[in-house]
A and B are shown apart, each in its own frame.
Chain A
Amino acid sequence: MVNASVQALDRAIAVANLPGITETAPSFRSLLIIYEPEIIEADALVRELRKLVAEGLRTQVVAGRSWSVPVAYGSPNDADLLEVSAATGLSREDVVAIHSSAEYQVYFVAFVPGLPVLGGLPPALHLPRRPDPRPGIQAGCVMIGGMQGLIVPITMPSGWYTLGQTPLRCYNPGAANPFLFRPGDRIRFRPVTAREADALTGVPGERFLDSGN
C-alpha cells in the first residue's frame, strides 16, 4: 500500500529532523515537502531523502491510534443512504452493516481543517462521486465517495454521499488539540440511534479512543 510508504517517509523525515524543511503534508501517494532553499538546496535535499529511503522505510510501523466513532446512520436525513442503496443494489441495512464492519485508515488530513480522508471502504460501496458538489454539508456528516470515506469537519460543499452523522467533531478550533485525527489513525464506525448520538454531543473526542491505545 503506497500510502503506508508515504506515511513512513513522513515519519522518517520528522525523525531525521533535516534542516531547511519547514513542513511536510502527506496525501494518497505523495508527500508534499516545503523547504527553504536558502538552507538546503534541492539537489542536497533529494540526496538526503534518497538516503532515508535507502536506509529502509518502516512501513509496518502502526503509528496511529484506534478510534470507535459513533454514527447515527440515516441522519440528518436518509436521502443519500437510500440513493447509495439503490445504486449498489444493497438494502439500506446492508449498506450500514458493510460500512460499519470495515476498519478504515486515515490516509491523510486535507482540503479543510481536520478532514480525515479514509481508506478501507469495502468495494461493495465504491460509487462515483456526484458530477457537481452540493453546498452546505454539515459538520459530522460521515460520507463516502469513490473508494474513500471521510468525516466532515466544518460546513462545506461535497459531491460525496452522506451515510449518517457522528456527534464527534474532528475540528475543534478553540481546543488545545484542535484536530482529532492524524494520518495513520484507524477508525471503526459504530451504529447508534439518533437519540444516542444526541446524548454523545459535546463529549470530548478523546473518549472515543479504543482502550489499549
Chain B
Amino acid sequence: MPALLRAIDPTPFVTIQDNGRRGWRRFGVSPSGAMDRMSLTIANALVGNRPTEAALEFAHAAGEWQVDAPGCRIAVAGGSFAITVDGIPHVAFNSITLTRGQRLRIGGAADAVWGYLAVAGGLDIPLQFGSRSTHLRTGIGGWAGRAIQPGDALPLRLDQATDEPERAIAPPAQPSAPYRVVLGPQDDYFAESSVATFLASSYRTTHQMDRMAYRLDGPTLTHEKGYNIITDGVVPGSIQVSGSGTPIVLMRDAPTVGGYPKIAVIIEADIGRLAQQRPGTEVSFQAISPPEAQAVRQRFLARMQIVAEDLGSPRLALARSG
C-alpha cells in the first residue's frame, strides 16, 4: 500500500515547490520554485533530504493533514508556525515523526508569510520540465499544476520513518537590513532624482503579494522616457515600475518577459527575505555593484550549504539540540 500524505483541510495556496526550473524560459516557461530558498533548504535538511527536494509551500498557514503510512518524518520551516499533532503543540524548525492516522495541523506565524512542510524521502511525483515546482497560472508541475485541495493524497517515497534522533535548528535570524539591489537594466528610464528617491525612501509591502509579484507602497517614481519599454526578459527580483510609478517586485512565478522599465534587481540572497515580509512591513533598498552582488551570492550559497551539511549529520544536530 503506498504511503500517502492526505490533505484533510488544506489552506488555499499550498503548492509543491522545489528549486524551480531552468532552461525553459526560451519557451515561455516561468522558473517558479520556492519563494524562500533558505527555508526550503532548512525544512529539507531537518528531515535528511537534499536541499532542493520538493516540499509543500504554504502561505500563512497550511491547515490540516494526515499521514497514511506506518511512519513519516516531517519538518516545518519558514517561520514560527503554530503546529499541533493530534492537538499536542510542536514547534517549527524541529523534525517530527508522525504515525498512521495522526492529524498534523499547521496554523499561522507572526514572523513569516511562506512556510515549508518537508517530508523525509520526498514526494513521489513526476518532474515536469525538469522540476516539481507548481506554476499555478499555467498549470505546470506539482500536483496536476494546481494548488492542493481537500482530499488530495500525495504519494510519499518512504513508508517508514527513520529511527535516527530528531533534528532541530535555531530559527535563522531575520535581519531588517536594506534589500540589496543592482541598479538597472533600465534605471536610465527614470529621472536621476527618482533613482535617489528609490534608494533613500522607505516602502511598505502591501496585501498585493503572491507568488508572481509584490506591489510596494511608497514614494512614486517618475519615468523620464515613458513607462513602456520594448518587452524584454525579467528575472525574480526585478523591480518593475508601471505607469502609476509604483515599484512592483517580480517573484518566482513571474512571466519570462515584461514591458515596464526595471529600475533595479534584488539580489538572489535577499529575495527570500523580502518574500517573508508580511503586508505593511517597511522595506528599503541599497545599491551594490555587480562584483559585490557576486560575493554576497557566494556567501549565501555557502550558508545554505552549511545549513544542509550541519543538519545532515545527526550527531551535530543532536549536539545542537542538547
Contacts and interface: CB of A to CB of B under 8 A. Distances in A.
A28 B28 contact: no
Interface in B15-42: 22-29
Contact of A32 (B28, B139, B235, B255): B235
B257 A113 contact: no
8 closest A-B pairs by beta carbon, nearest first, are A32-B233, A25-B25, A110-B257, A179-B27, A37-B294, A30-B232, A27-B232, A25-B26
Interface string A29-64: 111101001100110000000000000000000000
A32 B234 CA distance: 8
Contacts of B291: 41-42
Interface of A: 22-32, 34, 37-38, 41-42, 108-115, 117, 153-154, 173, 178-179, 183
B230 interface: yes
B138 interface: yes
Contact of A110 (B28, B137, B230, B297): B28
A29 B186 CA distance: 14
Interface of B: 22-29, 128, 137-140, 230-233, 235, 255-257, 290-291, 294, 297-298, 301
Contact of A183 (B26, B29, B298): B26
Given A34-B22, A109-B28, A154-B139, A25 B230 contact: no
B228 to A, nearest CB: 10
Name B's interface SS: mixed
Nearest to A25: B25
A32 B27 contact: no
Contacts of B290: 42
Contacts of B137: 112
A115 B298 CA distance: 35
A76 B85 CA distance: 53
Contacts of A154: 138-139
Nearest to B289: A42
B233 A25 contact: yes
A40 B299 CA distance: 16
B298 A38 contact: yes
Contacts of A113: 24, 27-29, 138, 140
Nearest to B135: A113
Contacts of B231: 27-28, 110, 117
A115 B22 CA distance: 18
Contacts of B138: 112-113, 154
Contacts of B230: 27-30
Contacts of A27: 230-233, 257
B26 to A, nearest CB: 5
Contacts of A179: 27-28
Contacts of B297: 37
A57 B256 CA distance: 25
B232 A29 contact: yes
Identify which of A38, A42, A108, A115 gathers the most chain B CB atoms within 10 Å of its CB. Answer: A108
A41 B294 contact: yes
B130 to A, nearest CB: 11
A114 B22 contact: no
B257 A34 contact: no
A28 B232 contact: yes
